[in-house]
Amino acid sequence: LYWDNKTSLHIRLSPSFQGKVCGLCGNYDGNGKNDFVTRAGEEVVEPLKFGNSWRVFTTCSKAKIVSSPCELRPHRHTWAAQHCNIINEEGVFGLCHNLVDRSKYYDICMQDTCACDTGGDCECFCTAVAAYAAACREQGVCISWRTPTICPLFCDYYNSPGGCEWHYQSCGDPCIKTCTNPSGNCSNITSIKVEGKNFFSNFTTVWSYEGCLSQS
């Protein structure tokens, strides 16, 4: 599980689980066209019927058809279009365009950005763009799209006086050197790069709960 402490949660399973899971995330059989299977095992085409079948408690109200957020909030459309266009910009995501179809990510960005108008407006936009960047990373393309004015992450805030150096990395290693794992290698998890706060190792220190310690 990879959680960004905000609005994104990524679940990664080992190949041994292929075709053996079910739920809102599908059956993990490599075919995204047959994921809409209800709790009763019925394959459906309606997203609402599929989603509502997986309610944990029957007391939860069923989801209903929702109109396009940009149609409901036309005042948000221009702002959303201007910001979400970063996904289409060749200078930013150009290297990924031929590897990951950007159209659905742009559409989701527009919907989510238009819908967020009650506070945390940028959070939905940032999450949508980060999702496309994550898909690019899985294809081996690292995109450094964040800037001081576009969805910045201030990881240096976590540095303590005399402590370890934490820095933001758009494509960091999923593992770091620790006292229990001095090599910094993880054989039991994916080697795909991850975004976020990373420990800047100077090759002489390792991370511990107490802070940076000498490898010796």
Q: Residue 29: which domain range?
A: 1-65
5 shares a domain with 58: yes
Structural domain total, the chain: 3
60 shares a domain with 8: yes
pLDDT at 120: 59
Which neighbouring-strand residues pair with 166?
199
Distance (Å, whole) CA 67 – CA 11: 29
Q: Is residue 122 part of a domain?
A: yes
Indicate the pTM of the whole model.
0.74
Q: Is residue 144 part of a domain?
A: no
pLDDT at 191: 61
Write down which residue in 138, 167, 186 finishes a domain. 138
Residue 10: in which H helix or E strand, if any?
Answer: strand 9-10
Distance (Å, whole) CA 179 – CA 207: 7
12 shares a domain with 52: yes
74 shares a domain with 44: no
Q: What is the pLDDT of residues 3-25, one digit of tens each?
A: 777 778 878 888 899 989 999 99
Q: Is residue 91 part of a domain?
A: yes
Q: Is residue 147 part of a domain?
A: no
Distance (Å, whole) CA 49 – CA 196: 36
81 shares a domain with 99: yes
One digit per residue, pLDDT tens: the chain, 216 residues? 777 777 788 788 888 999 899 999 999 998 988 999 999 999 999 999 999 999 999 888 998 887 789 999 999 999 999 999 999 999 999 999 999 999 999 999 999 999 987 665 688 999 999 999 999 998 999 999 998 889 887 766 566 655 556 667 777 776 766 666 667 676 655 566 777 655 555 444 444 444 444 555
Which neighbouring-strand residues pair with 167?
198
